[in-house]
Amino acid sequence: MRQSVTVRELEAFVCLAEHLNYKIAAEHTFVSQPALTRIIQAIEGKLEVRLFDRNTRRVELTPSGRELLPIARRLLGEFHGALGDLSEFIGGRRGNISVACLPSAAAGLLPPVMAQLQQTHPKLTIALHPTSGLLLPNMLKDGTADFAVSSRSADPDIAYERLLNDPLVLICSAEDDGPASPNAIWEFIARRPLISSGASSSIRQEVDRVLLDRRLVVPSRYEVANISVLGAMVGAGLGISVIPTMALCLMDTTRVAVHPLNAVSASREIGVLTRKGRTLSSATQHFLACLRREAAQRGLS
């Protein structure tokens, strides 16, 4: 069975073929002339062909050596190129990142982070999966996503790292006079028809919690799963709604007035979800570092 030729042997062959001088080739390959001779003899033995003709005055490639030279150069180029790709992957400069996230986080938090990464790590490929918070833990477990950006999960297999608080706001039609004062905002909510997010939405859960904390019982007049449709309904004067600030990115706000709730508890916590026991790639860790900086710069963490 023919033995495999090593990268070192190919490099020595190409160097000698280019210089046609054992002394110079030995210096370039950092070996002694006898060692270079043994390397060339080894590759000739493995290939069962003579690659060089040598006499006391000069070294010449044989026909087989001339045929091998372009092949060896191509193989070495591919090897060193692949080695460079591997180095970039290990260093986090190249790779694929899959991010699952709440739609509001996808629109209101991640684009600036991705823009920064595009400048510093242009070879990264990012797949963004905006979806319901209920589906995110399973996407982490089955490997569809490397990490998720969402509210805290009760799943024991999912780790959580808090990033920031996303304040809840009241939205009403721009033609509505709105609350008479910041102190009257809860009374205003109680007196207006409420348009709620879908029952499975993470927004709905947070709003219900805040209303319960204020001992407000406000039945939903309308329920809609799509946040952009909710915004259109509010803009048309069908009622009011309470949503996280980042969700404003998902709707047309030209016909909507926004009022802060001015309550410490009236916010939604957003963080990073990862599967416990899973090691993240260097590229993913770069993304998370950039995400943490973005959260800190917003002054909400």
Map out the domains of the chain as residue ranges: 7-90, 94-163+269-297, 165-267
Measured in degrees and rounded to the nearest 5, phi and psi for residue 59 equal -120, 135
Tell me the pLDDT tens digit for each residue of 176-198. 988 888 888 989 999 999 999 88
* DSSP count for the chain of H helices, then E strands: 11, 11
CATH number of 7-90: 1.10.10.10
Check residue 264 and give its pLDDT: 63
* Rounded distance between C-alpha atoms, residue 179 and residue 5, angstroms: 81
Cβ distance 44 to 50 under 8 Å?
yes
pLDDT one digit per residue (tens) for the chain, 301 residues: 557 888 888 888 889 988 999 888 898 888 898 998 898 899 888 888 899 988 777 888 888 888 888 888 888 887 777 666 655 555 555 678 899 999 999 998 999 999 988 888 787 888 999 988 888 999 999 888 999 999 888 899 999 999 999 999 999 999 998 888 888 898 999 999 999 988 778 888 888 888 888 888 888 899 998 899 999 999 999 999 999 999 999 999 999 999 998 766 788 899 999 999 888 888 888 889 999 999 988 864 4
Check residue 83 and give its pLDDT: 65
Q: Do domains 94-163+269-297 and 165-267 have the same CATH topology?
A: yes
Check residue 89 and give its pLDDT: 55
Q: For the domain made up of 94-163+269-297, give the CATH fold.
A: D-Maltodextrin-Binding Protein; domain 2 (3.40.190)
* CA 17 vs CA 5, 73, 86: distances in Å: 16, 11, 29
**Other residues' Cβ atoms within 10 Å of the Cβ of residue 23:** 9
- Tokens at 74, concatenated: 């191509």
H/E stretch holding 101: strand 94-101
* Rounded distance between C-alpha atoms, residue 130 and residue 139, angstroms: 11
Which class in CATH covers the domain with range 165-267? alpha beta
H/E stretch holding 124: strand 123-130
DSSP code, position 166: E
Residue 186's nearest CA partner among 168, 173, 198, 204 is: 168
